[in-house]
Chain A
Amino acid sequence: MSEKYDVIVIGSGPAGYVAAIRAAQLGLKTACIEKWQNTAGKGVNGGTCLNVGCIPSKALLDSSYKYHEAKEDLQIHGISAKEVTIDVAEMLKRKDKIISQLTGGIAGLFKANGVVPLYGTGKLLSGKRVELTDNEGQVTILETENVILASGSLPIEIPVAPVDGNLIVDSTGALEIDSVPKRLGVIGAGVIGLELGSVWNRMGSEVVLLEAMEDFLAIMDKAIARETKKIFGKQGLDIRLGARVTGTETKGKKVQVTYQSVDGAEHQETFDKLIVCVGRRAYTDGLLADDSGVQLDERGTIFVNEQCATNAPGVYAIGDVVRGPMLAHKGSEEGVMVAEIIAGHKAQMNYDVVPNVIYTHPEVASVGQTEEQIKAAGEPYNVGTFPFAASGRAMAANDTDGMVKIIAHAETDRILGCHIVGPSAADLVQQVAIAMEFGSSAEDIGMTVFGHPTLSEAVHEAALAVNGAAIHIANRKKR
Chain B
Amino acid sequence: MAIEIKAPTYPESVQEGTLATWHKGVGDSVTRDELIVDIETDKVVLEVVAPASGTLSQTFKSEGDIVLSNEIIAQIEEGAVAQPAATPTAPAESPAQADEAAPAVNPAAKKLADERGINLDHVIGTGKGGRITKEDVVNYQPPQDQPPVSPAAAESTAGSQEVAEVGERVERRVAMTRMRSRIAERLLEVTQTTASLTTFNEVDMSALMGLRKKHQDQFTKTHSGTRLGFMGFFVKASVEALKRFPLVNASIDGTDVVYHGYQDVGVAVSTDRGLVVPVLRNAENMSIATIENSISDYAGKAREGKLAIEEITGGTFTITNGGVYGSLLSTPIINPPQTAILGMHSIQQRPVAVDGQVEIRPMMNLALSYDHRLIDGKDAVQFLVTIKQLIEDPAKILLEI
Contact = CB atoms under 8 A, between A and B. Distances in A.
Interface of A: 25-26, 333, 336-337, 340, 345-350, 409, 411-414, 437-441, 443-444, 446-448
Nearest to B139: A412
A333 B89 CA distance: 8
Contacts of A336: 88
A447 B107 contact: yes
A441 B106 contact: yes
A352 B85 CA distance: 18
A442 B1 CA distance: 22
A441 B108 contact: yes
Contacts of A413: 108, 134-135, 138
Contacts of B195: none
A409 B86 contact: no
13 contacts: A345-B83, A345-B85, A350-B88, A412-B135, A413-B134, A437-B128, A438-B127, A438-B128, A438-B131, A439-B131, A440-B108, A441-B106, A444-B106
A447 B108 contact: yes
A452 B92 CA distance: 35
Given A438-B127, A443-B111, A444-B106, A412 B86 contact: no
Given A348-B86, A349-B88, A438-B128, A414 B135 contact: yes
Max count, chain B CB within 10 A of own CB: residue among A337, A348, A441, A446: A441
Interface in B126-155: 126-128, 131, 133-135, 138-139
Interface of B: 83-86, 88-89, 92, 106-109, 111, 126-128, 131, 133-135, 138-139
A346 B108 contact: no
B134 A347 contact: no
A251 to B, nearest CB: 52
A444 B86 contact: no
A72 to B, nearest CB: 39
A441 B134 CA distance: 6
Contacts of B86: 345-348
Most chain A CB within 10 A, of B83, B108, B111, is at B108
Nearest to A349: B88
A443 B108 CA distance: 6
Contacts of A350: 88
A319 to B, nearest CB: 15
A448 B108 CA distance: 10
Contacts of B83: 345-346
Given A345-B85, A439-B126, A439-B127, A448 B107 contact: yes
Nearest to B137: A412
Nearest to B127: A439
Contacts of B89: 333, 437
Given A340-B92, A439-B131, A444-B106, 7 more contacts: A347-B85, A412-B133, A414-B134, A437-B128, A438-B106, A440-B133, A444-B109
Contacts of A337: 88
